[in-house]
Amino acid sequence: MNKIIEGFKNFILRGNAVDLAVGVVIGASFGTVVTTLVAGFLTPLIGAIAKVPDFSGLYFVLNGSKFMYGAFINALISFLLVAGTIYFFVVMPMNALMLRMKKKESANPTTKKCPECLSEVPVEAKRCAHCSQLIVK
């Protein structure tokens, strides 16, 4: 019994399981934040501009069948608002941050020019691989 509990503890404390659990919890919380932002601010803004805050009442009848295209319009607008919110408030800032971090990483050069033949050689090289010139640091 003790071996089973020890194995379960090792499984739970393994990095992948913990990382996955944290990712799911944070993702669910983030989804709630984005949904609330869209429902609380962006949808009413569209309603104020379009003068129709809720399209779910829109429909047409064909041969006695009621087609509720308004619900589709609501879902489509909601999807576009959520996608736009994620793109403009998460993806774009993260891309800018990653680009800024990448520029800082590339600030330390890994190569230098050979003074004789001007070819690229590693910073730590003592001799050029192309022309055999001794490289003084």
User: Considering the entire predicted model, what is its pTM?
Assistant: 0.51
Binning the chain into helix, strand and coil, the percentages to the nearest 5 are: 60, 10, 30
Same domain for 127 and 95: no
- Is the pLDDT at 65 greater than 90? The verdict is yes
At 61 the pLDDT is 93
Q: What domain range includes position 132?
A: 110-137
- Regarding whether 99 and 134 lie in a shared domain, the answer is no
Residue 126 has pLDDT above 70, yes or no: yes
Same domain for 94 and 134, yes or no, is no
Q: Which helix (H) or strand (E) holds 50?
A: helix 43-50
79 in the same domain as 118? no
pLDDT of residue 107: 65
| pLDDT at residue 105, rounded to an integer | 65
Q: Say whether both 102 and 130 belong to one domain.
A: no
In which band, very low, low, confident or very high, does the pLDDT at 137 lie, cut at 50, 70 and 90?
low
Mean pLDDT, rounded, of the chain: 83
Co-location of 52 and 115 in the same domain: no
**For the segment 98-115, what is each residue's pLDDT rounded down to a tens digit?**
888 887 766 677 888 888
In this predicted structure, the answer to whether residue 39 has a pLDDT above a threshold of 70 is yes
The whole-angstrom separation of Cα 9 and Cα 23 is 20
What is the spatial distance between Cα 93 and Cα 89, in angstroms, rounded to a whole number?
6
Of 50 and 85, which is predicted with more confidence? 85
- Give the count of domains, the chain: 2
71 or 137, which is more confident: 71
pLDDT in tens, 77-87: 888 888 888 88
Which DSSP string corresponds to 59-71?
Answer: -EEETTEEE-HHH
For residue 15, pLDDT beyond 70: no
The greatest distance separating any two alpha carbons of the chain, rounded to the nearest whole angstrom, comes to 90
Does 99 share its domain with 36? yes
